[in-house]
Amino acid sequence: MSNSHTKPPAAAPTDLHSAPATAGHILLPIARATLSMALGHPLEAPEQAAWLQESGACFVTLTQRGQLRGCIGTLEAHRTLLADLKANALAAAFADPRFSPLSAGELVQTEIEVSLLSALQAMQFESEAHALAQLQPGIDGVVFEFAHHRSTFLPQVWQQLPSVPEFMAQLKRKAGLPPDFWDAGVRLQRYSVRQWKESDLRCASDTASSQENL
């Protein structure tokens, strides 16, 4: 996650409900324009929406033909949503340690997804089984913490890991721990997201155009 210094954000946070239903039509073009500019191809995208200046936390995910190409985000709001979006778009493209930096030739085949996060909610539990019983597949993003180990999965990951025990096992593996690890010092937090993907917006636009032409 990027920790680059930016000017202090506005006091009011962007929650999941303050951004309009059409937020994806603003967030996704800004993310693409940010990457295009960084790759030497200036592209304009409107940035005037007032809610972009509220503090917010988001993740930017890049995929190519359905395969992950980069994913970086912020779990807790500490700057404006606009600044967070741009920083995470750049980090997903050029600073995800799992991948080589994105090239200009790849951008056209790269799909962008933006997830706007709610505030983190600490979970209370007495055992791993108790914790697993509380998780809501397809809804909860989860942050796993133990000592210096930390990892998170967005709610979208439930699509690949629909089993709650396997979801947790892979979350621990991502944190650098054995999948069967458990300790009384484990901390879990959960959150929800609103997500927008370029292909979904294109499909919606195509559907609307078809209906208008009936």
Q: Are 81 and 50 in contact (CB under 8 A)?
A: no
pLDDT per residue as tens digits for the range 90-135 = 999 999 999 999 999 999 999 999 999 999 999 999 999 999 999 9
pLDDT interval class at 39 (50, 70, 90): very high
Number of domains forming the structure of the chain: 2
Query: pLDDT exceeding 90 applies to what percent of the chain?
Result: 83
pLDDT digits (tens, 9 = 90+) for 135-151: 999 999 999 999 999 99
Q: Assess whether pLDDT exceeds 90 at residue 167.
A: yes
Question: Which CATH number is 158's domain given?
Answer: 3.30.1490.150
Looking up residue 28, the CATH number of its domain turns out to be 3.30.700.20
Q: What is the mean pLDDT of the chain?
A: 90
pLDDT at residue 206 above 60? no
Report residue 201's pLDDT band, with 50, 70 and 90 as the boundaries.
Answer: confident
User: Which residues, 6 or more positions from 80, have their beta carbon under 8 angstroms from its beta carbon?
Assistant: 6, 7, 9, 10, 52, 53, 54, 55, 56
Q: Are residues 100 and 36 in the same domain?
A: yes
Per-residue pLDDT at 5 = 38
Residue 7 confidence (pLDDT): 39
Residues 131 and 154 in one domain: yes
- pLDDT value of residue 204: 57
Structure confidence at residue 19 (pLDDT): 85
214 located within any domain: no
Q: 44 is in which domain, residue-wise? A: 24-117
User: pLDDT at position 174, please?
Assistant: 97
Check whether 154 has a pLDDT greater than 70.
yes
Among residues 29, 35, 34, 32, the alpha carbon closest in space to that of 49 is found at 29
Asked if residue 137 lies in contact with residue 162, where contact means CB atoms within 8 angstroms, the answer is yes
- Residue 111 belongs to a domain: yes
Mark whether 108 and 131 lie in a shared domain.
Answer: no
Mean pLDDT of 7-33: 74
Residue 212 confidence class, pLDDT cut points 50, 70, 90: low
Residues 43 and 108 in one domain: yes
> Per the domain annotation, does 47 fall within a domain?
yes
Q: Hey, what amino acid is at 62?
A: L
Q: Do both 64 and 141 map to the same domain?
A: no
The number of beta carbons lying within 10 Å of the beta carbon of residue 72 is 21
Q: Where are the beta strands (DSSP E) in the chain?
A: 58-64, 67-73, 111-117, 121-122, 141-146, 149-153, 187-191, 193-197
Mean pLDDT of 188-211: 77
Q: Is the pLDDT of residue 20 over 80?
A: yes
